[in-house]
Amino acid sequence: MPTVSLSLDWVGDLSFRNSAGSPAIELHSGIPGATSPPHALAYAVMACMAMDVVDIVRKGRHELRALTVRFEGVRAEPHPRRYVSMDLRFDITGAVPDHVVARAIDLSRDKYCSVWNSIRPDVALTTSFTIHE
């Protein structure tokens, strides 16, 4: 089985940065405008699914000119304040049929996105998309 090895260094307060040799990331807690661990998880889900959608659409030889994905999440009030729901909205520009985008999103959610499939199964995930030609 493939393994992943990463390392973070504490840089003061509640801030951490990647250690030498690890991919670049900086995480903070409680600092407005900085990426927190829950934000990083949301970005990871968005990027993982968006990469799958781009790959699947392009493999189908459809003209994809742009893709933006937006995230809305709801977190529980009591600790551990985990996500209880996530909503991803894909905004696609190009000559891509609706059924191709819908299938790409379904394949990502159900089969390919390792980030989404690592999250608790009771987190509700909804998706939608808009295509602009």
pLDDT in tens, the chain (133 residues): 899 999 999 999 999 999 999 999 999 998 888 999 999 999 999 999 999 999 999 999 999 999 999 999 999 999 999 999 999 999 999 999 999 999 999 999 999 999 999 999 999 999 999 999 8
- What's the pLDDT at 30? 83
- What's the pLDDT at 107? 98
Q: Considering only CA atoms, which of 82, 17, 118 is closest in space to residue 6?
A: 17
CATH number at residue 97: 3.30.300.20
C-alpha 82/C-alpha 74 separation (Å) is 8
Statement to judge: residues 62 and 83 lie in one domain: yes
Domain span at residue 106 reads: 37-132
